[in-house]
Structure 1
Amino acid sequence: MQAPEISSTKTLESLFCGALAKPFSDACTSTWHLALSTEPVPTAPALEDAVIFRCTFSGEVSGQGFALLRHAEVVTLGLQDMLDDTDAFGDEHAMALSSIFEASCNELCQHLSQKSPVTVQVERMSAPELPTDRLAELFLEAEGTKIRVSILLFFDQQLVTTYQNASAQTFSFPEVTGTSTSNLNLVLDVELNVTLRFGQRQLSLREVLDLTSGSVVELDRQVDEPVELVLDGKVVARGEAVIIDGNYGMRITQVLQQVTA
């Protein structure tokens, strides 16, 4: 199972999916394919029937994320070093899963620490209060079978917000000094193309070829998240989408870097 490439433009859900792929592949005796579900997130099972891990991030990206797996599904994974007659969830399964999530979260931290250090602590929890700010589902499918294992992800708002702030590619306006003001005046009327970005999504070639009239493409952004004003591929501002005389517009709520004159 090849791990998807981790990119700074991906959502938290996609990042976790990419980071979990290789640790699961290394820990299982059979071949599983890991993907991010596009279906509505199902209702979480009773906590006593599931194993839950809390990932607490500290640093520029901070907050808590939780991963939940059902006991009955974990035993179908074929984790290495399990007894052949192990058909009930036990401490061995929990320890193996803990190693998987520690390895994946450490990989995430390496990616998130490009500007400043980000650390993580992974703990198994018995009955935590799960956040409902951001939910997602990953699923593992066994190659050649219909066996499917669900991984429910829960992120608190602090983790979502700090990740969005850290991963945004901010545009660096040139600092205008007294000696260059006259030169800048020469180009102030040059028109620049800006784009209002509601979200994005990576599609496989197969998904693109399957597109027809009426197809729905789900983006990576929730409806209550700010939209972005993009110039030359860089985010220069965030705000709220509005309708002006029947056209889309944007009410700016945050300018990421002002021009100084």
Structure 2
Amino acid sequence: MTQNLNLDQFEPGADEPPAERKAAPGPAGSLGAVYDIPVQLAAVLGKASMPINQLLRLGRGAVVELDRKVGEPIDIFVNNRLVARGEVIVVEDRLGVTMTEIVKGEQ
């Protein structure tokens, strides 16, 4: 099941550094303790499967065809769990990812 991304769902001040966030009263205020816990984020462009002998023959400049087409959303994982889909963007001279939908439930 997927859900379109809605900016109203985000907590105000979420883009501020953790030190500048103010703890909200009530249950949301208790989340302040987890703001500094590091998580691993991975944006997966696609996957490929090949036998080891083919993998060993790859050299510089080799092209590996992935299972995604140009323009298809990429998968965004947090701690190895699919949480969103998005699009690759260019920010100055670096690549970035913009989330276009949040994935709910087990996939």
Same fold (TM over 0.5): yes
2:42 pairs with 1:195 = yes
Runs (4 or more) in structure 1 with deviation over 2 Å come to: none
- Structure 2 match to 1:185: 32
Tell me which amino acid in the other structure corresponds to 1:209: L
Distance 1:196 1:233 in 2: 10
SS of the residue aligned with 2:55? helix
- Structure 1 match to 2:53: 206
Unaligned runs of 5+ in 2: 3-25
Identity %: 30
- Structure 2 match to 1:237: 84
Instruction: Give the aligned length.
Output: 81
Unaligned runs of 5+ in 1: 1-164, 167-176
Residue 185 of structure 1 deviates from its aligned partner by: 2.2
2:62 pairs with 1:215 = yes
TM-score using structure 1 length? 0.29
Tell me which amino acid in the other structure corresponds to 2:58: L
Q: Deviations over 1:37-63 (max 9, x none)?
A: xxxxxxxxxxxxxxxxxxxxxxxxxxx
The two structures, once aligned, show a CA RMSD in angstroms of: 2.2
Tell me which amino acid in the other structure corresponds to 1:250: V
Please state which structure has a larger fraction of its residues in helix.
1
Which of residues 84, 87, 95 in structure 2 aligns to 1:248? 95
Distance 1:203 1:181 in 2: 49
Q: Deviations over 1:197-243 (max 9, x none)?
A: 11011121111111111111000011121012111222111111100
